[in-house]
Amino acid sequence: MTNTIAVHMSGVVKRFPGVVANDGVEFELRRGEVHALLGENGAGKSTLSNILTGLYRPDEGTIELNGAPVSFSSPRDALNAGIGMVHQHFRLVETFSVAENVVLGNPDTAFLLDTAAINERVKELAARYDMAVDPEARVWQLSVGEQQRVEILKVLYRGAQVLILDEPTAVLTPIEADALFRTLRAMTTEGRTVIFISHKLDEVMAVSDRITVLRGGRTVGTVETSSTNKRDLASMMVGRNVEFTRVQRKTPAQTNDVVLHVENLGGHDDRGRDALHGITLTVGRGEIVGVAGVAGNGQRELAEVIAGMRHATTGSVSVEGKVLQSGKARAAIAGGVAHVPEDRLHTGLAAGHSVEDNLALKSYRSSLLSRFGLLRRQAMRDGAVTLVERYDVKTPNTQTAVRLLSGGNVQKVLLAREFSTGPKVLIAASPTRGLDVGAIESVRERLVEAADGGLGVLLISEDLDEIMSLADRIAVMYEGRVVAVIPADKADRETIGLLMGGAQLEATS
Amino acid sequence: MKSPVRLERRLEQPKWLNWAIPLISLLAALAVGAIVLLLTGKNPLDVYHRIFERGFLSTRALTGTLRTATPFAFTGLCAAAAFRLGVINIGGEGQLYMGAIGASYAGLVMGDSYPVGIVIIAMVFAGMIFGGMYAGFVGLLRAQFNTNEIITSLMMNYIAGIILNYLIFNSLSYWRDPRSAGFPSGKPLEKRAFWPSYEIAGVGISFGLILATFVAVAVWVLYKRSRFGFEIGIIADSPRAARYIGIRTKTTIVLVTALSGALAGIGGASQVGDFTHNLDAKGLQLNNFGYTGIVVAALARLNPLGAIVVAILLGGLTNAGYSLQGPDFPSGLVGTLQGLILFTAVAGEILMKYRVKRNTAAKKAMVAS
């Protein structure tokens, strides 16, 4: 029974404009197993599960369910066939009770709810899989862990045989995560099958029977959990044999001449939870420090605290020895911090505004561009024309709205402005993400050029290749902490991959 | 079943659309209005001709039109100033009442002892402060607690009406004329607190309308040319970008909402100084000055200078409505037309962002069938 194949996906290709998210993925799921899907961000895990749950249709390839070919055109089709997804971001009606949420959207539910019977069934289902949750409680009263149980119950109630859990532990406390693992075990012993999407090596090792590793939209391989280890998984995940060349620098980094000093920094995320735990980090003059890590481990919060967009709960940020006022973007800008945010078009720029306005976004208050509270439009225009030429921005004219430019040119506008403010430190968050090859090359050249000119660069990126080839030192972030800082010439992908996955360095080396 | 036309997003918004779309909106409103008129057995061309005649075609008509346009100009500026930041202040009505209360107080206190110029300036500022603070409270709630300003500003209109009634009808307040025994009314201002009026080619123009024009220019400069206006534009376009460069978004929301209310407040001051010369609690509430301002702002596409033009246009319509009212000209007609104009002006914004394209695929399908 355990060796029969529940799902077999073969040669799955899914293209999006400008990117191939799945490029011939092979995936085989045995009935009754917990099968982990492991990979970095952008490896194609989400796309694959979205195809399996009917959200996307593959461009090529076949899906077989219990040996028979299937084609889903909506999540409802997939659910009817017994495949259900538990999303990372819950889709619950907060003012409804647990039981009401569970039956919501279920076509078999009668027009008039038999509340007592439904409560009874939900309670029974919850007990069977060891999930403590009160069917009559309102969802808003529940903890995050309990809400996740409701999501799982929803899928079970619909009779799903295959459950896909998308990074289920990202929101859980360790105790809640253990409870979840017990629940998953209880489900598989009943013959249900679980796909467990994660990038955390420890929990993948703890919970799964088999592991399929994806990288760059392709299947790297499927291994039995009992016959592998974290080190092998990490190298499968980040790629072992890729040759990359370190960029040649004209001026060597002066690591000891510190321009950016981050000391014991703490900070909250958007929901007010601690996202940074005592981050200490330095960037020297002309040095590029790469911050490696899987997205969501505090990188964005770190960038925003340094840039003054977010308050520091502990610690301080100083530039050339001067402490910056926490939570004041203008203080950071005045102190010489340039910031290329992750969300270029709507944070780094005002997309509906012209190239001219956007180029002046950080200097419009200077006496050069405004006087007596009035803008000096001619000076803004002249400045914009100069920058557009110098940075080779392809735009019809300086009055064109930034949202009409291509991604590469959007980034050029942003970089042009940030460099034009005469910064001492640049925080660049995923500066090449989503760009085409040519644009990526030009952005990297600009960064290196700026560092050669003495700028300290904190390069936050999920692209390990980028970090390995540009950075002088590499800091690895995991769950809001800098877990290691390694000189780039001593760094190897395996070690960094392990650290990104939360493994302890001592335990593995 | 495909629609024969589809909307395609415009990449650029040509300049001529700025005046073409309001014009089309206006014509569309008149066209729909014509259907309503036909249904009620009236000849639309005849009715529109009479409206035009009574609104614009004589010195008397124009004098009345400009008088009606004066408060519309201020409430239109009020709505436009706030909408540009994305704060939907629909409390111009109440802010105008408060402005009238403030200005009449200043006029009553200072009218018998200060020079004319000082009294007028004091009345304008009192109107701005009362209207501005009243609206500032709405802005504060929005900035601090993220309350929905549409609801709070609307509710505060009713409160302002109650305050007005209290001051004149339900108390022996400073504003109430103690000599008005039968029907209570506001204490009349001294002559010195009357705002001047001018006459050009037989058409009377109030000081308030001239003031409104200057204020419109000032608001235009503020939004288009000033640093503060630049920041308002950034907040409206992208709140995250505003945070990124350290704009004080909350402060700006409070200030802009207060400014918006101050503009309506001058409108209230103008009612007292230009026209009624007392605090006319009933008269202020009869005309929906504040709500019409929303129509003005929408049709002017939030352009302050356009608001003056549109105010005169709607002033003419409303003024004609006053004088034509009777069995063959239902009193609801002007309101209906105003409503239609608001509707088409808002719909016109879609044409600003999208262009209408024939759906070629659907056309082929239609040919085939």
Residue A240: is its pLDDT beyond 60?
no
Task: Give chain A's end-to-end CA distance (angstroms, integer).
Answer: 40
Stretches in chain B below the pLDDT threshold 70: 1-3, 11, 359-369
Contact B245 A377 (CB under 8 A): no
Of the ranges A231-245, A444-458, B222-236, which one carries the lowest mean pLDDT score? A231-245
Give me the pLDDT at residue B369, please.
39
pLDDT on residue A174: 75
Sign of CA dihedral A174, A178, A183, A185: positive
Task: Give the confidence band of A3 by pLDDT, cuts at 50, 70, 90.
Answer: low
pLDDT at A2: 44
Decide if pLDDT at A74 tops 70. Answer: yes
Q: Which residues contact A363 (CB under 8 A, 6 or more apart)?
A: A369, A383, A420, A421
pLDDT value for B325: 82
Distance of residue B231 Cα from the nearest chain A Cα, in angstroms: 9
A→B interface, C-beta within 8 Å? 307-309, 328-333, 339, 341, 343, 346-353, 357, 361-362, 364-365, 370, 373-375, 377, 400-401, 404
CA dist., res. B276 & res. B195, Å (int): 11
Per-residue model confidence (pLDDT) at position B316? 94
Domains and CATH numbers, chain A: 5-238 (3.40.50.300), 251-336+423-509 (3.40.50.300), 346-422 (no CATH)
The pLDDT of residue A305 is: 97
Out of A308, A349, A350, the one facing B246 most closely (by C-beta) is: A308
Query: Which residue in B84, B219, B221, B237 has the most chain A C-beta atoms within 10 A of its own C-beta, making it the best mutation to test that interface?
Result: B237
Q: Among A331, A348, A353, select the one facing B233 at the smallest CB separation.
A: A353
CB contact under 8 A, B241 and A370: no
Domain ranges of chain B: 65-300
Flag whether pLDDT at A506 surpasses 60: no
A365 interaction partners in chain B (CB closer than 8 Å): 227
- Residue B48 to residue B324: CA distance in whole angstroms: 11
B228: chain A residues, CB-CB within 8 Å: 373
As a whole number of Å, the end-to-end CA separation of chain B is 12
pLDDT at residue B58, rounded to an integer = 93
Distance CA B233, CA A421 (A): 22
Residue of A304, A356, A374 best to disrupt the B interface, most CBs of B under 10 A: A374
Residues B66, B313: Cα–Cα separation, whole Å: 9
Site from A304, A347, A380 to mutate, B interface, most B CB atoms within 10 angstroms: A347
* Nearest alpha carbon to residue A99 among A123, A77, A80, A79: A123
CB A226 within 8 A of CB A257: no
ipTM of the shown complex: 0.87
Please name the residue that has the structure tokens 């019409």.
Answer: B292
Q: Using CB atoms and an 8 Å cut-off, which of residues 6-45 of chain B contact chain A? A: 11-12
**DSSP-based three-state secondary structure for A343:** coil
How distant is the Cα of B352 from the closest Cα of chain A, in angstroms? 14
**Chain-wide mean pLDDT for chain B?**
91
Query: Which of B94, B55, B51, B80 is CA-nearest to residue B289?
Result: B94
DSSP β-bridge partners for residue A292: A461, A476
Beta carbons of A422 and A336 less than 8 angstroms apart: yes
Shortest alpha-carbon distance between residue A310 and chain B (Å): 9
Residue B338 has a pLDDT of 86
Tell me the shortest Cα–Cα distance from A110 to chain B, in angstroms: 32
**CB contact set of A197 (below 8 Å; sequence gap of 6+):** A36, A37, A45, A46, A49, A164, A165, A166, A167
Which alpha helices (H) appear in chain B, and where do they start and end?
Answer: 17-39, 44-56, 59-83, 92-110, 116-145, 149-168, 207-225, 227-237, 239-244, 249-270, 281-286, 289-299, 304-324, 332-353, 360-368
Are the Cβ atoms of B234 and A361 closer than 8 angstroms? yes
User: Within a 10 A sphere around the Cβ of B158, how many other Cβ atoms?
Assistant: 11
Residues of B in contact with A343 (CB under 8 A): 240
Cα–Cα distance for residue pair A156/A154, rounded to 1 Å: 6
Tell me whether B251 touches chain A (CB under 8 Å): no
CA distance A398 to chain B (A): 13
How far is residue A129's CA from residue A86's CA, in Å, rounded to a whole number?
Answer: 16
Taking contacts as CB-CB distances below 8 angstroms, the residues of chain A near B242 are 350
Distance, in Å, from the CA atom of A90 to the CA atom of A80, rounded to the nearest integer, reads 20
State the pLDDT at residue A286: 95
Let me know: does A189 contact A200? Beta carbons within 8 Å: no
- Model pLDDT, residue B304: 97
Distance, in angstroms, between B241 CA and closest chain A CA?
4
A86 to each of A241, B73, B272, how far by Cα in Å? 35, 56, 65
In angstroms, rounded to a whole number, what is the distance separating the alpha carbons of residues A414 and A341? Answer: 9
Two tokens, residue A419: 């460099």
Q: How far is CA B329 from CA B36, B46, B57, B292, B318, in A?
A: 13, 11, 19, 20, 13
Residues 6+ apart with CB under 8 A from A46: A166, A197
Q: Which residue has the tokens 């950071």?
A: A332
Model confidence band, residue A172 (pLDDT cutoffs 50, 70, 90) = confident
Model confidence at A310: pLDDT above 90? yes
Residues of A with CB below 8 A from B12's CB?
400-401, 404
- Encode pLDDT of A27-39 as tens digits: 999 999 999 999 8
Of B211, B214, B264, nearest in space to B102 by CA: B264
List of chain B residues whose C-beta atoms are within 8 Å of the C-beta of residue A346: 238, 240-241
Cβ-based burial of A251 (10 A; exposed 0-12, middle 13-18, buried ≥19)? exposed
pLDDT at A17 over 80: no
A418 contacts on B by Cβ (under 8 Å): none
- The verdict on a CB contact (< 8 Å) between B221 and A374 is yes
Between CA B306 and CA B315 the distance in angstroms is 14
- Mean pLDDT in chain A? 89
Q: How far is A375 from chain B (nearest CA, A)?
A: 5
Q: Tokens at residue B11, please?
A: 């990449």
As a whole number of angstroms, the longest Cα–Cα distance in chain B is 85
Euclidean distance between CA atoms A154 and A167, whole angstroms: 17
> Region A426-449: what's the mean pLDDT?
88
Q: pLDDT tens digit string along B202-237? A: 999 999 999 999 999 999 999 999 999 999 999 999
Q: How far is B340 from B295, CA to CA, in rounded Å?
A: 10
CA A177 to chain CA centroid, Å, is: 20
* Cβ–Cβ below 8 Å for B244 and A373: no
The proportion of chain A whose per-residue pLDDT surpasses 70, expressed as a percent, equals 97
* Rounded Cα distance, A69 and A503, in Å: 39
Angle B87-B93-B95 from CA coordinates, rounded to 5°: 75
Taking CA atoms, A45 is separated from A36, A200, A237, A266, A321, in Å, by: 10, 13, 12, 31, 44
The answer to whether B241 contacts A364, with C-beta atoms less than 8 Å apart, is no
Residue-wise pLDDT tens digits, A324-349: 999 999 999 999 999 999 999 999 99
Q: Do A467 and A491 touch, CB atoms closer than 8 A?
A: no
Pair of tokens at residue B115? 């020079």
Of B225, B227, B245, the CB nearest to A362: B245
Cα dist from A421 to A17, A417, B33, B177, B246, whole Å: 34, 7, 56, 63, 15
Chain B CB contacts of A355 under 8 Å are: none
Distance CA A143, CA A165 (A): 18
> Is the minimum CB–CB distance between B221 and chain A shorter than 8 Å?
yes
Q: Using alpha carbons, list the distances in angstroms from residue A254 to A249, A258, A428, B167.
A: 12, 8, 19, 74
Q: Given an 8 Å threshold on Cβ–Cβ distance, is A361 in contact with B245?
A: yes
Give the pLDDT score at A381: 96
Among A80, A213, A82, A89, which residue's Cα sits nearest to residue A151? A89
Q: Does A373 sit within 8 Å of B226, measured CB to CB?
A: yes
Two structure tokens written together for A429: 């968050």
- What is the least distance, in Å, from the CA of B230 to any CA of chain A? 8
As a dihedral over the C-alpha atoms of residue A455, residue A456, residue A460, residue A464, rounded to 10 degrees, the angle is 90
For residue B56, give the amino acid letter. F
Q: A444 pLDDT exceeds 80?
A: yes
Mean pLDDT of A395-408: 89
CB atoms within 10 A of CB B19: 13
A118: Cβ–Cβ under 8 A, 6 or more apart, which residues?
A99, A100, A102, A103, A135
Chain A residues inside the 8 Å CB shell of B226: 373-375
Query: What's the pLDDT at A282?
Result: 97
Average of per-residue pLDDT across A413-436: 92
Across the A:B interface, residue pairs with CB atoms under 8 Å apart total 69
Residue environment code for A215-242, b if the CB has 16+ CB neighbours within 10 A, otherwise e = bebbbbebbebeebebbbbbbbbbbeee
CB A276 within 8 A of CB A478: no
CA-based nearest distance A301→chain B, Å: 13
